[in-house]
Amino acid sequence: MNAVSTTRKRIGVLISGRGSNMAALLRNDCGGDVVVVGSNKAEAKGLELAQDAGIETFALSHKSFASREAFDAALIEQLETYRLDLLVLAGFMRILTPQFTDHFAGRLLNIHPSLLPSYPGLDTHERALNDGVKLHGCTVHFVTSVLDHGPIIAQAAVQVEDDDTPETLAAKVLVQEHQILPYAVRLFCEDRLQANGLRVSVRPIAPVIVKHA
């Protein structure tokens, strides 16, 4: 019988900008505690949000390192001091090396603004409009060494209207991002996710058996 985990997970979040998805995690009880928020940009607005919430933050500029590998090694060393159960990429605009993704394999999630496997990478909303798709959306997935190609945990779709622009479409998708990221993180924290290749199944919550005298 599968039981929901009663131990709260220690969560780290990496951002590069305003941190709106990080803020969505803080607004919701995800079954774990965000203990650190890091960024590759010291000016990232999301760091201020985290500090205001009493969360420890750090900034580690990738520009200070000679290679991606050197930056990722330093980032791993920094993050390991927090004994994380889960690391969430919430608008972290860096391509990570296999060195990094392998180190956090199985405990590294990303939120991506498209319905993967469609539109990996950048400029997803503009590309979707150019292709004339009628549905667009966002995806939470486990991160692997292949960019935006890990096992999918959750997705949400929005209708693409004739008058949508990249900006209006991004705004609609962001609303959904703020809903599915806390949901996916909670499933992880409750130990309810089971990955089999690229497919992820969700274990049901075991019923509570009440014994009567």
> What does the pLDDT read at residue 205?
76
Question: For the residues 85-94, what does the mean pLDDT come to?
Answer: 98
Round the average pLDDT of the chain to a whole number and report it. 94
Range of the domain at 174: 9-202
* Per-residue pLDDT at 18 exceeds 70: yes
* Per-residue pLDDT at 154 exceeds 50: yes
Whole-angstrom CA distances from 16 to 5, 25, 31, 60 are 31, 16, 24, 11
pLDDT band at 39 (very low <50, low <70, confident <90, very high): very high
116-148 pLDDT tens trace: 999 999 999 999 999 999 999 999 999 999 999
- 104 lies in some domain: yes
Residues marked as catalytic: 112
- What does the block give as tokens for 111? 């939120």
- 192 lies in some domain: yes
| CATH number (domain holding residue 26) | 3.40.50.170
- What does the block give as tokens for 154? 């959750």
Specify burial of residue 110 (Cβ count, 10 A radius: 0-12, 13-18, 19+): buried
Q: Which residues contact 207 (CB under 8 A, 6 or more apart)?
A: none
Question: For the residues 5-14, what does the mean pLDDT come to?
Answer: 87
Count, residues in the chain = 213
> What does the pLDDT read at residue 6?
62
* Per-residue pLDDT at 80 exceeds 70: yes
* Per-residue pLDDT at 2 exceeds 70: no
- What does the block give as tokens for 121? 């990478």
- 212 lies in some domain: no
Place of tokens 């039981």: 3
Domains in the chain, number: 1
* Per-residue pLDDT at 1 exceeds 50: no
Q: Which of 180, 187, 181 is nearest to 204 (CA)?
A: 187
- 83 lies in some domain: yes
Phi, psi of 72 (to 5 degrees): -65, -35
- 38 lies in some domain: yes
pLDDT band at 31 (very low <50, low <70, confident <90, very high): very high
- 159 lies in some domain: yes
> What does the pLDDT read at residue 207?
58
